[in-house]
Amino acid sequence: MTTRQRTTVTVNGRVYEREVEPRLTLADFLRHELHLGGTHVGCEHGVCGACNVLIDGRASRSCLTLAVQVDGAQVTTIEGLRNRETGQLHPIQQAFIDEHGMQCGFCTPGFIMTTLEMLAENTNPSDEQIKDALGGNLCRCTGYETILKSVRLAARRLRESSAP
């Protein structure tokens, strides 16, 4: 049983091709095959959101997705956010620093990837919309208030930077 299968995934713009066991999750594929440790593995059953990445632009639990399922897909992880040329952090990352949107930082990549999807669709979200979007991410340091502030700041900066 368990024939290894080829999967070809574009992660942060770079194409990776690997032979993997079908049971390998996308989270473990990123961490152990590609050595991209920024995607954190929390609960491994879809509750905590720490492992959220973008699959074809949509925030998704990488612990509930198999590496073979994303054959041909575009995946974005936290490592893909920094500006490659300038080294500058993404405005969402910078806002989480400026507003202290983390304590231990374990949940942060998941919160940021969820925020990235939300702000890609709407840079002017209400607090209700932010809470609804982030409702599937857990922070055990209970830093929700500063996370909310971080997202508001990121949204404001993104609006200002895209203003004419």
Partner 1 sequence: MKAAPFDYHAPPTVDSAVALLQRFESEGIDAKVLAGGQSLMPMLNMRVARPQVLIDLGRIAALDYIRTENSMLAIGAMTSKRAAEDSALVRERQPLFHAATQLIGHRPIRNRGTVGGSFAHADPAAEYPAVALVQDIQMKAQGPHGVRVVPAREFFVTYMTTCLEAAEVLTEVRIPALPPGIGWSIQEFAKRDGDLALAGVVATLRVVKGVCEDVRIAAFGVNATAVRLAAAEAALQGRPPTPENFARAAAAGAEALEEPIADVHATPAYRRQLVRVYTGRCLAEASARAT
> In the structure encoding, which two tokens stand for residue 112, read together?
């940021």
- Told to check if 69 binds partner 1 by CB under 8 A, we report yes
Question: What is the smallest separation between the CB atom of 4 and partner 1, expressed in angstroms?
Answer: 10
Beta bridge partners, 54, equal: 59, 76
- Told to check if 3 binds partner 1 by CB under 8 A, we report yes
- Told to check if 44 binds partner 1 by CB under 8 A, we report yes
What residue type is assigned to position 99 of the chain?
A: E
Q: Are strands 74-76 and 5-11 parallel, antiparallel or unpaired?
A: parallel
**Whole-angstrom distance, CA of residue 137 vs CA of residue 98:** 20
User: Judged by CB under 8 A, which stretch of 32-40, 58-66, 74-82, 91-99 contacts partner 1?
Assistant: 58-66
Question: What is the smallest separation between the CB atom of 27 and partner 1, expressed in angstroms?
Answer: 10
Question: What is the smallest separation between the CB atom of 31 and partner 1, expressed in angstroms?
Answer: 13
- Told to check if 66 binds partner 1 by CB under 8 A, we report yes
- Told to check if 33 binds partner 1 by CB under 8 A, we report no
Residues 6+ apart with CB under 8 A from 52: 59, 60, 61, 62, 109, 110, 113, 114, 137
Choose between 26 and 36: whose C-beta lies nearer to partner 1: 26
Question: What is the smallest separation between the CB atom of 37 and partner 1, expressed in angstroms?
Answer: 18
Rounded CA Rg of the chain = 16
Q: Are strands 14-20 and 74-76 parallel, antiparallel or unpaired?
A: unpaired
- Told to check if 136 binds partner 1 by CB under 8 A, we report yes
Choose between 52 and 93: whose C-beta lies nearer to partner 1: 52
